[in-house]
Structure 1
Amino acid sequence: MIRALYTAASGMTAQQMNLDNIANNLANSSTTGFQQRRVAFSDMLYQSTTAPGSAATSQTTNASGLQVGLGVRPTSTETIQTQGDFNTTGSPLDMAISGGGFFQILLPNGQTGYSRAGSFRPDAQGVVVTSDGNPLQPSITIPPDATNVTIGNDGTVSVTQPGTTTASQVGQIQLATFVNPGGLNSVGNNLFLATTASGDPIIGNPGGAEGIGTIQQGVLEESNVSVVDQFVQMIVAQRSYESNSRVVKAADEMLQQLNQLSQ
């Protein structure tokens, strides 16, 4: 009976983490470039009274055995790599990636962060940076007298300046892809860091190498969170938590009856 208490408690703990993850998804349902996460679970150890395949007699074996599981545990939070909806802003330095890939962002500590959020602005020197002031890599500088900024699907950045009728190229946006993007480390501020699980970044021009998407100018990628789906998952998590709590209550009542027998 004590085993049932701990097994049900593990289910309640797992669903509590599941609800925490759902809450984070819902909180970021309006975050540009956010990709929702899903909690993955696995069963825990099994107590074997009779092992499958063990000898039943000198000539026969047990076909299935007798095993009782000891609960569940969360194993990982998987990033759902699906395309979010596009929102047209008209801002020349707002960009969305149509397909796979990440923008490369130079962080203050010298590391390179990776992001799907394409809301960029020029700083005081004209360098294209994020809202936190971290520059896009490779670095691109917009001339202060530029009258028009054009970003092609292949990532070429061109500007038109006073006194000229033709556009001149001032930079080339490059995107990064990973063999296992689910292995990236989320560090907040719409940024990921590469890990040994994700592998090294594969750098290329938009639309060039296989798996690298194209750039859409004047557009932002919205979060890929489906609010309706998350509410459904929240109800499922709540009902699962409630079911496990009832198991705890039932085990407690059975233990109580055992205690009364000894009185």
Structure 2
Amino acid sequence: MFRGFYTVASGMLTQQRRTEMLTNNMANANTPGFKADQSSLRAFPEMLLQRFDKERIPTERGLNLPGSNVVGSINTGVYMQEVMPKFIQGDLRETGQKTDLALLDIVMPQNEETGYAGSIFFTVQNAAGETRYTRNGDFTLDGQGYLTTASGNYVLDTTGNRIQLSSEDFTVDANGLVQGAAGETALLGIGYSADPFQMVKEGDGLLRNEAGAALVDVRGVAGTEFSIQQGFLEASNVDVSRTMTDMLTAYRAFEANQKVLQAYDKSMDKAANEVGRIG
């Protein structure tokens, strides 16, 4: 009986966490460059139930031999093993703003170990001076003319320096070469990750390499083809209709576990207060 409580509780916790993940995806459906999270659910080890019995042997002495019959297996619960971003190219949306940039993955080599293609990211610097990466190209110029993200993180070039421009009248070609109206030039830093599932989300659209090492520049990786589109933003890859369906499924599963928990609670109440009562 108590095992049933633990099994149902684990199911409710799992569906709650899955709902929170899906809600976050839905909330960022309009965030440029956002990569939807996907979860992996896994069951705890199953237990094999057996019924022990005795088998009578028709002999003069009437021997009884112990035996067992398989009843079946019982699952002891489920948990959400991990949450991984889905690094699939989002649609490009034209904005006409020169400070808006979008990364386009044309050809990315496939990782032999994972079977998934690599991915590229803009290189930025956070408030602590650490190098981070993002797919959100919703950039702007701050008061000093530095190219920054919407949350104020500095966009870096290939040498790790901040990009400073005299005005918003600048151009960016398909390879990432920035040319300002006053003759400034810079080459956007575009990091390449052969295993994008090693990238960890930090909020504000920023990611870091789980291994801690800086990503290599994509231009030095053989077999890659990419393009940077100025005046465009990459939309999120959240499938709104699928996410809504998954949210309803998770809610129904939570509700079903809740009803089972209530049934267990009533059974325990009877066992404790009614069974064996002396009138």
TM-score scaled by length of structure 1: 0.82
Q: 1:193 aligns with which of 205, 208, 220?
A: 208
Correspondence 1:4 to 2:4: yes
Tell me the residue number matched to 1:96.
Answer: 102
Cα distance in 2 for residues equivalent to 1:184 and 1:65: 45
Cα distance in 2 for residues equivalent to 1:132 and 1:7: 43
How far the C-alpha of 1:249 sits from its partner, in A, is 2.7
Report if aligned partners of 2:36, 2:85 keep a CA contact under 8 Å in 1.
Answer: yes
Report the structure, 1 or 2, having the larger strand content.
2
Correspondence 1:27 to 2:27: yes
Correspondence 1:81 to 2:100: no
Report if aligned partners of 2:165, 2:184 keep a CA contact under 8 Å in 1.
Answer: no
Write out per-residue CA displacement over residues 157-179 of structure 1, whole angstroms, 9 at most, x where no aligned residue: 12345xxxxxx561111211212
How far the C-alpha of 1:200 sits from its partner, in A, is 4.8
Pick closer, same or farther for the CA change 1:115–1:65 going to 2, 3 Å.
farther
Identity of aligned residues (%): 27
The amino acid that maps onto 1:203 is D
Total equivalences in the alignment: 242
Q: CA RMSD in A?
A: 2.6
How far the C-alpha of 1:184 sits from its partner, in A, is 1.6
Pick closer, same or farther for the CA change 1:111–1:210 going to 2, 3 Å.
farther
Report if aligned partners of 1:101, 1:211 keep a CA contact under 8 Å in 2.
Answer: no
- Greater C-alpha Rg: 2
Tell me the residue number matched to 2:63.
Answer: none
Cα distance in 2 for residues equivalent to 1:176 and 1:258: 63
Cα distance in 1 for residues equivalent to 2:225 and 2:130: 22
Tell me the residue number matched to 1:149.
Answer: 170
Secondary structure of the 2:128 match is coil
The amino acid that maps onto 2:163 is I
Cα distance in 2 for residues equivalent to 1:229 and 1:191: 25
Cα distance in 2 for residues equivalent to 1:169 and 1:65: 77
The amino acid that maps onto 1:90 is G
Report if aligned partners of 2:39, 2:84 keep a CA contact under 8 Å in 1.
Answer: yes
After the TM superposition, which of the residue ranges 249-258 and 90-99 deviates more from structure 2?
249-258
Report if aligned partners of 1:177, 1:212 keep a CA contact under 8 Å in 2.
Answer: no
Report if aligned partners of 2:46, 2:75 keep a CA contact under 8 Å in 1.
Answer: yes
Write out per-residue CA displacement over residues 211-253 of structure 1, whole angstroms, 9 at most, x where no aligned residue: 4631011001122112111110011001111221222233334
Cα distance in 2 for residues equivalent to 1:39 and 1:226: 15
Give runs of aligned pairs for residues 1-263 of structure 1, distance below 5 A: 1-49=1-49, 66-99=72-105, 100-138=119-157, 139-144=162-167, 148-161=169-182, 170-196=185-211, 200-205=214-219, 209-211=222-224, 213-256=226-269, 258-259=271-272, 260-263=274-277
Cα distance in 2 for residues equivalent to 1:257 and 1:143: 78
How far the C-alpha of 1:151 sits from its partner, in A, is 0.9
Write out per-residue CA displacement over residues 22-66 of structure 1, whole angstroms, 9 at most, x where no aligned residue: 11111111112111112211111333446xxxxxxxxxxx9x885
Cα distance in 2 for residues equivalent to 1:176 and 1:65: 56
Report if aligned partners of 1:174, 1:205 keep a CA contact under 8 Å in 2.
Answer: no
Secondary structure of the 1:101 match is strand
TM-score scaled by length of structure 2: 0.77
After the TM superposition, which of the residue ranges 124-133 and 93-102 deviates more from structure 2?
124-133
Pick closer, same or farther for the CA change 1:154–1:5 going to 2, 3 Å.
same
Cα distance in 1 for residues equivalent to 2:193 and 2:218: 11
